[in-house]
Amino acid sequence: MFSIEFEIVIVIILSAITCSIPGAFLVMRRNYYAADTTNRSAMLGIAVALIFSSYLSSPLVIILGSITSGLAMILIKKIKEFTSFRAKGLSIIISSAFLCFGILIAANLSFNNTTNFDLSIIYLGETAFTYFNRLRVFGVDIGSYALYAVSFVLVINIILVTVFYNEFKIDGVDKNYAASIEMKESTIDYLLLIMTSLSVSVSFQTAGIFMTSAFILGPAATALFYTKRLSTLAFVSVFISSVACLAGFGIAWPNEVSISGTIVSFLGVLFIVSVIFSPEEGLVKKYFDNLTAQKRLEEYIIMDILNSEIIDCREKHINEEISSSLKWKLMKVSYIMNKLKAENKIEIVQNKVQLTEEGKTILNKFLSAQHCFY
């Protein structure tokens, strides 16, 4: 129907969007371990499903995969209730146990007939393979199976989010308020669980069960650098994941390297770039902000010392005096003193260094802003 590249790109983008929608809510709700756990524990369901069916994209795989990942999350909750362990540690144990049992089953029991099947497709994903599993209606080829499966889950996700949008919003913004209007937190938990596990088990063939967590967390974590509102967060993360997919595919396809690996690396690059250069919270901006704030603070410290007259304010040894009492280098002190003099904030009256009227007003303004009331 379409060209092979076009269809693969569509499948990738759709699965990335499917993953990034629950991801935005997971990051917002500070539910840290869900992404990793669902990914890894889906392996058990996939392996069991592969005993009965030999196709990676059959409905049985999606259903069993999401059931086991949901089961893992519920198991973690139950164990957490009667022991003192933290959820993240438990999630690693449970998910690696599920993963290992899954691999054991897949390696020894599944694929009875197809002996040369490479298991690493499940771990790492191979997007191009999705193209060869076609869906036929009355003998007519209507596109690859994965396309329909992914869009089905995407539609489910979008419907769930639009129907329960208010609940998500209240829950993400204010937990106390949510509790006060007697909204059950667990309903949102289970909704998110359903969304995440469905998205994971449908998109593992594009990204593989390990890299799906980057599909889930990456766009949302990057989007948090640009917006804080929930609705925009979802849209920005969808945008970021599509950009990463297009760019990754564009690089990987001609060079014949792993498509999912390139996309995930690209997501990582976007994240790191946002960490460093984001206009509001980027490292570069923070660094320069801190530098100027620090410089200003240093000026105020010296002005306050001169104002309170704790030390001997005669002009002769003033720099040494300040430098020893602050434990700063003499160079730094004399630099700041010269700057203050040039800015007309301090003056010398009868061999004594003191603040000018202008400096005093500036200092008082600063000091009154330093209070921290609750």
Q: Return the residues of window 275-304 that contact another protein according to CB under 8 A.
A: 275, 281, 283, 286, 289-294, 296-298, 300-301, 304
Q: Which of 130, 262, 299, 346 contacts another protein by CB under 8 A?
A: 262
Q: Which of residues 141-180 bind another protein (CB under 8 A)?
A: none
Q: Which of 63, 100, 155, 163 binds another protein (CB under 8 A)?
A: 100
Residues of span 327-356 touching another protein by CB under 8 A:
327-328
- Which range touches another protein (CB under 8 A), out of 66-74, 92-100, 141-149, 165-173? 92-100
Other Cβ atoms within 10 Å of 189 Cβ, number = 17
CB of 40 to another protein, least distance (A): 8
Among 54, 120, 186, 187, binds another protein (CB under 8 A): 120
Using rule CB under 8 A, residue 113 touches another protein: no
Q: How would DSSP label each residue in 59-110?
A: HHHHHHHHHHHHHHHHHHHHHHHHS---HHHHHHHHHHHHHHHHHHHHHHTS
The tokens describing 207, both together, are 């990204």
DSSP state, residue 127: G
DSSP readout, 210-275?
A: HHHHHHHHHHHHHHTTT---HHHHHHHHHHHHHHHHHHHHHHHHHHT--HHHHHHHHHHHHHHHHH
Stretch that binds another protein, among 1-9, 97-105, 154-162, 188-196 (CB under 8 A): 97-105
CA dihedral sign of residues 346, 292, 372, 229: positive
- Number of residues forming the site for another protein (CB under 8 A): 83
In angstroms, what is the minimal distance from the CB of 342 to another protein? 22
Least CB distance to another protein at residue 131 (A): 18
Q: SS3 string of 278-303?
A: CCCCCHHHHHHHHHHHHHHHHHHHHH
- Contact yes or no for 283/276 (Cβ under 8 A): yes
For the segment 28-47, give every residue that binds another protein (CB under 8 A).
Answer: 30, 32-33, 35-36, 40
Residues with Cβ within 8 Å of residue 75, at least 6 apart in sequence: 94
Closer of 289 and 343 to another protein (Cβ): 289
Distance (Å, whole) CA 13 – CA 207:
11
Q: How far is the CB of 47 from another protein (least distance, A)?
A: 12
Residues 183-242 touching another protein, rule: CB under 8 A, are 210-214, 217-218, 221, 224
Nearer to another protein, 159 or 283 (CB): 283
Asked if 210 and 216 touch (Cβ cutoff 8 Å), the reply is no
Question: Minimal distance in Å, beta carbon 277 to another protein?
Answer: 12
SS3 112: coil
Nearer to another protein, 45 or 102 (CB): 102
Q: What are phi and psi of 235, to 5 degrees?
A: -65, -45
CB of 326 to another protein, least distance (A): 4
112 sits near another protein (criterion: CB under 8 A)? no
As a whole number of angstroms, the distance between CA 254 and CA 163 comes to: 42
Residue 109 vs 142, nearer CB to another protein: 109
Single out the segment in contact with another protein by CB under 8 A; choices: 45-53, 90-98, 148-156, 162-170.
Answer: 90-98
Minimum CB separation of residue 65 from another protein in Å reads: 17
Stretch that binds another protein, among 55-63, 190-198, 259-267, 343-351 (CB under 8 A): 259-267
